[in-house]
Structure 1
Amino acid sequence: MVTIKQVSERAGVSSATVSRVINNADSVKENTRKLVMDAMADLGYRHNVLAASLASNKTNTVGYVVPELHGSFFGSMMAGSEQVLRKANKHMFVATGHSDESTEKKEIEALLSRRCDALILHVEAVSDDYLINLARQDVPLVVVNRYIEEIGEHCISLDNIRGGYLATRHLIELGHTSIAYVAGAMFKADSVNRLEGHKQALAEAGLQYNESLTVEGNFQAKSGEDAIRELARRDCYYTAVACANDEMACGAINALATMGRSVPRDVSVIGYDNIDFASYLTPGLTTINYPVRDIGTMAARWILNHAYGDHKMTMSHVLEPHLVVRGTTKRN
């Protein structure tokens, strides 16, 4: 097995310099880095991560649990984290919890058993108490897209009440007073908070919340289509639809089109998240910007601060949404 000493001799540098190259230290000059990398390639050197982790008690790996890998939302969030962690020479192990309590717990335990140094958790089914207890153990963890007061310093979240409020206020400012609402799955905190923001905007405008105008979806496009059909079965009158995410908004627009109702001529539609394809629709989707990549970035910075002692990383715990006006809303 090729050793660091052999690499240092081939490159004409010290063993400490080889170690700095392996650990991607910024202090190494580029020409020196190239000498070391060439020597490693010539000798077929492979860094023994297991041996290094036993010596340092660090594996340089971060466990990451998300509900699913489908769609651009979680991909964008993980990309924000991965960019920060890769620059710090850390690696991600990704697992999916599928919004199921037992699966989320199983994946968290699996990542811990693999000696991950820290965890980034976007979990929806496990209880607050479970996460509180986990945070009080030795493994550093950060919870994303969820706020738990008792461990607020471990949470990176969006002000979803504010976001829901901004969406409905925009419709009201355009003169809409009969506004349907397509909610996400109501066991999820972000769904509850976005609906609460919707209600606050109605109340502020002196409009009564009408439960019959609200349909629960599941954040998938098909549930947006189904919600519009359900509103038709209820024979509800509305001139605008606020949706708890962009995918459901797209489904709603498709269902309205099949019913012969044009967006925004007949019905205004607003989404939530501002995912990548929202601006490519015709017309472009009016939505609430969710800085999901930034949340992933902040989560990774939290990990570097708390698990690896890199206290130079600046971060925020609560990010603010903002309105993005495009072509699916118009004055009533």
Structure 2
Amino acid sequence: MATIYEVSKLAGVSLATVSRVMNKNARVSEKTKQKVLDAMDSLGYRPNSIAQSLASSRANSVGVLVSELHGPFFGQMMAGIEAELRAAGKHVIITTGHSEADKEKDGIEFLISRNCDAIIAHVEAVSDEYLIKLSKGKTPIYLMSRYVEELKDQCISLDNELGGYLATKSMIEHGHKDIAYIAGPQFKADASNRLLGHKRALEEHNLPFNENLFYIGDFKETGGSDALKHFIDKKYKFTALVCANDEMASGAMKYAREHGYQLPEDLSVIGFDNVIFANYLYPTLTTIDNPVARMGRMTAKLVLKEVYQNKNLDIDLVFKPSLIMRDSLANQS
């Protein structure tokens, strides 16, 4: 089997030049590039990751830590990251943190041990202090859907407070005043910020925040069904249901239909995230768009710009959510 050293010798160039050609580095002239490619073809050489990284001191791989592997939200996130990096000739190594501090730390340490050139982390349980300390290490870390002031130039985040505000504001503008709210786990920054937006919309329209119409769910379908059951069992009066994500909204809608509710006539529902199934629920789900695939691509671009020196990329650090109006929200007569 041919080696990178033989390619270098046959092409009459340095190992570093061979590596640059394999890494698609623009600093190599077309003439030199062709000499290297001809040598590789003549020798039947197929580059491997170790050879590619010899001269560049790069593994050409990026570690990605996400909370879960299942579900449409994380699928879109990983697809966006992987597509952007793959187009640039980089590969991803993926592990999970399961929203538990110890598992998130373990996942990060695993990725560091794999000599990744950088880490993209969607972390929810570890502290800001831990992330700040981690950022001072050898492996650059970039945060997705998480904002840490001290690391603001390494964060791609969504304005979740604005999203929560838009969701509740839309209910109020459709005439609803008795609005139940299903929050996500409050140790998660996105969930707590969405709740702040909900409260801002209520306050802006002189509506009180009703603790009886507040429930902390788990960001899963069960959280939505359990919450709606709680509200119904307590016989609380409400005409609208704002959910902190689409999975809980879908669970609540299923429970409502099973218990005789006509949607949206008896109960208007809005979610958050705009995952792919939101447009296939019955009725189709009004929701807040969380452009997670575009955010994933942007986080990958940030890595390409900062770590792989692709300085021509434009970076947007903060994304704005928007309202997606469908059929699950009706005017309150």
TM over 0.5: yes
> More deviation in 284-293 or 134-143?
134-143
The 8 Å contact of residues 181 and 215 in structure 1, kept in 2 or not, is answered as yes
Residues 41 and 225 of structure 1: CA distance in aligned 2, closer, same or farther (over 3 Å) = farther
C-alpha distance in structure 1 between counterparts of 2:44 and 2:227, whole Å: 59
Aligned ranges for residues 120-139 of structure 1 at < 5 Å? Answer: 120-139=120-139
TM-score norm. by structure 2 comes to 0.91
Identity rate, percent: 51
Q: 1:140 touches 1:306 (CA, 8 Å); kept in 2?
A: no
What does residue 183 of structure 1 align with?
A: 183
C-alpha distance in 2 between matches for 1:48 and 1:172: 58
Alpha-carbon offset, residue 139 of structure 1:
1.8
Runs of at least 5 residues in structure 2 that lack an aligned partner in the other structure: none
The separation in 2 between residues aligned to 1:207 and 1:15, in whole angstroms, is 69
Q: Distance in 2 between matches of 1:221 and 1:150?
A: 35
1:227 paired residue number: 227
How big is the shift at 1:70?
0.8
Distance 1:99 1:162, change over 3 A: same
* Residue matched to 1:148: 148
Q: For residues 1-332 of structure 1, what are the structure 2 equivalents within 5 Å?
A: 1-4=1-4, 22-24=22-24, 44-332=44-332
Shift of 1:309: 1.4
Structure 1 residue 203 displacement after superposition: 0.5
Give the distance between the partners of 1:301 and 1:199, measured in 2 at CA. 34
Aligned Cα root-mean-square deviation (Å):
2.7
> Residue 271 of structure 1: CA displacement?
0.4
Question: Displacement of 1:142 after TM fit?
Answer: 0.8
Instruction: Judge conservation of contact 1:17–1:28 (CA < 8 Å) in 2.
Output: yes
Task: State the TM-score, normalizing by the size of structure 1.
Answer: 0.91
Aligned partners of 2:245 and 2:75: how far apart in 1?
16
Matched length: 331
Could you list the per-position Cα deviations for residues 263-290 of structure 1 after superposition, in whole angstroms to 9, with x for gaps in the alignment?
1011000000001111122321100000
Mark the CA change 1:34 to 1:279 in structure 2 (over 3 Å): closer, same or farther. farther
Do 2:302 and 2:315's aligned partners in 1 also have CA atoms closer than 8 Å? yes
Distance 2:149 2:22 in 1: 40
Distance change in 2, residues 1:56/1:199 (3 Å): same
Question: Structure 1 regions of 5+ residues with no counterpart?
Answer: none
Contact 2:22 2:52 (8 Å CA) reproduced: no
CA–CA distance in structure 1, aligned partners of residues 47 and 20 of structure 2: 12
Residue 8 of structure 1, CA deviation: 8.5
